Structure 1
């Protein structure tokens, strides 16, 4: 049987949303008639796992997308990276023919000309950031769509944003999926300390600074243990990262919140938590929210982006008007003193994930769109 060659271009490293999609993809792919090649920036745990599965990983650090605040520097690097990619792609396709090419980011435009010449190009759109990046980004998106066979938007919010930018055809909504967990124990015992969890990458739009206001309101009113995970990362905004820590010290909040980096046992953290507080200012999907709900953890979040597609307010979680930190603090205070431990909300949260965000079902939809079944 002839193998179907598939190429994935993935410029991301680490435990972020696009790589969650990538992991779900390669862990569920049927390799009996598909040969997968992934272009990846540098070796990490994800690429090592891919190699252990027999996936051909081509490393190229020049495709890596880093957080850059300066608009002109970001634009220069973006254009030069795509110019480089044209020649890189030519070399890749000269050595091997690929029937399909999956680009796991919406940030590339004119460099897609080369894959388009040889294969069907699919682009997975993980972001809403193009909404606020002005005329240049709109032009690049319109240019990009010339080469794209189909867009895969990770939420309805992303699809609508693409349509507003002038891309109105060939868009499929493919929600990220999460692995289903065992049903929660209806007789869950109340913990001695109310444990609140937040998980945020250290960049401004993830909104960790809003937690400072919430903590300042709650610190003298309630007893809790709050942990922020994912804070230390090579791709972080270092200035913002340092600002956040300095504000914790200035506001004397060290006893209220513990700040940690990435952890390998995230499932244990979900199981031990009473509540997830998600302060993000923009979410194209909200994987952390869906993952927490799969463990039956209620979520309090701002009503932004696609989060209303996951959370049904006051049914399986709580949506706060952006960015009403006082109201967010009030809701958290009420939950801390809820003796019932919100069993109904916890159960409803798990049921929502089972209905719409089951990884086993959602990734099969991706495979059908790519005609890989």
Structure 2
């Protein structure tokens, strides 16, 4: 969203954004003249109970129907761009007044649940166009019966300066992982990898993003308890969200990404833009970003022994894998440049010729 609003021509477009609560990002939008409507009910929260999740979803959908009616009653909007991670049944209200574009950046709709199937059937009647963040997402939508109105628009990342050749690699080898504390992000696979590597080679491993309002608290606590039980505290430090993520990429030699499902893999692309090689399981759309052993490494899911072996070999590489690092950065420049990909978004939305 930030990339979107930073590249809009506000002499031609009036943008209204529905946002959970006031923060640095929303204040930045307001400073640009964007009309920000605050609605705490659009914030995502992790709910484990199926009954409570269903009840919460339908109650909020019902609320959003009146919320949208109020917005469109006050001001006409010709286009409505929605993120499918938000509540979506209520979108039939914007459909009454505008063309609805849905950005699909999740594979959650693949689940065989009755509610998800009803949602897709319902959406097909009013969505003007889907913007899929990968070919994998597009294929999955087609398998669900959606045809003809899907455009693939890859996520874009900011292109970084040229990476520098280090005459001497720093010790210890610095490994980074970034994972939201929910099971499908696969942080538990790191426990086995760490256990294999801990007595074989010297490294410093950091896991970021572990503490969040929308986390699965039970899983979050399980992971920390396992670190203590397996005596891995010296092998990995676990931190929450950070504001200086660029600094973490720059000081890292490798990103290990243990996710079990990826509709795109933004963290992977972002790391590669800094010339940081990635070791990841071959799941979802990651093969659309990574060419195995050319610009990073794809491991068959979920072969933790092979993941540990690959990391060990990379740590032993005395030349610091500069060839891989260069190829990683070039791949992002070629396919995932934020400016180029944002122009494609504007063309799909008919905001650019």
Name the residue aligned to 2:307: 328
Q: Which blocks of at least 5 consecutive residues in structure 1 are unaligned?
A: 1-21
2:23 counterpart (40, 44, 48):
44
Are 2:322 and 1:351 aligned? Answer: no
1:153 and 1:171 in contact (8 A); partners too: yes
| 1:220-268: CA deviation from partner (whole Å, max 9, x where unpaired) | 0010000001111111111111111111001000000000111111111
Partner of 1:110: 89
Contact 1:109 1:141 in 2 (8 A): no
Q: Superposition pairs for residues 77-88 of structure 1, below 5 Å?
A: 77-88=56-67
Match of 1:205 among 184, 196, 204: 184
Partners of 2:351 and 2:315 lie apart in 1 by 47
CA distance in structure 2 between the aligned counterparts of 1:130 and 1:238, rounded to whole angstroms: 24
1:259 aligns with 2:235: no
Contact 1:199 1:278 in 2 (8 A): yes
How many residues are treated as equivalent by the alignment? 352
Q: 1:219 aligns with which of 198, 201, 214?
A: 198
Aligned to 1:366: 345
- The Cα offsets for residues 176-217 of structure 1, whole Å up to 9 and x where unpaired, read as 100101111234531121000000111111111100010000
| Contact preservation (8 Å) 1:103, 1:122 | yes
TM-score for both structures, normalised by structure 2? 0.97
Give the equivalent residue in structure 1 for 2:142. Answer: 163
- Give the 5 Å matches for 1:25-40: 25-40=4-19
Are 1:282 and 2:261 matched, yes or no? yes
Q: Does the 8 Å contact 2:160/2:274 carry over to 1?
A: yes
* 1:179 maps to 2:158: yes
Q: Secondary structure at the match of 1:32?
A: coil
Q: Secondary structure at the match of 1:149?
A: strand
Shift of residue 169, structure 1, vs aligned partner: 2.0
Task: Tell me how far 1:35 sits from its aligned partner.
Answer: 0.9
**Where does residue 97 of structure 1 map in the other structure?**
76
**Preserved CA contact (<8 Å) 1:109 1:143:** no
Q: Retained in 2: the 8 A contact 1:108–1:144?
A: no
**Any conservation in 1 of the 2:136–2:263 contact (CA below 8 Å)?**
yes
Contact preservation (8 Å) 2:177, 2:208 = yes
For residue 302 of structure 1, what is the aligned residue in structure 2?
281
Q: For the residues of structure 2 that align with 1:26 and 1:329, how far apart are their CA atoms?
A: 41
Task: Give 2:221's aligned residue.
Answer: 242
Contact residue 106 and residue 123 of structure 1 kept, 8 A: no
| CA distance in 2: counterparts of 1:46 and 1:236, whole angstroms | 21
Residues in 1 aligned to 2:235 and 2:224: alpha-carbon distance in whole angstroms = 13
1:103 match: secondary structure: strand
* C-alpha distance in 2 between matches for 1:239 and 1:184: 40
Q: After superposition, what is the alpha-carbon deviation per residue over 1:108-136, rounded to whole angstroms, capped at 9, x for unaligned?
A: 44311110111000000110112124232
Alignment pair present for 1:129 and 2:108: yes
TM-superposed deviation, 1:44:
2.2
Compute the RMSD of aligned alpha carbons: 1.1
> 1:45, CA displacement in angstroms?
2.2
Give the deviation of 1:63 after TM superposition: 2.3
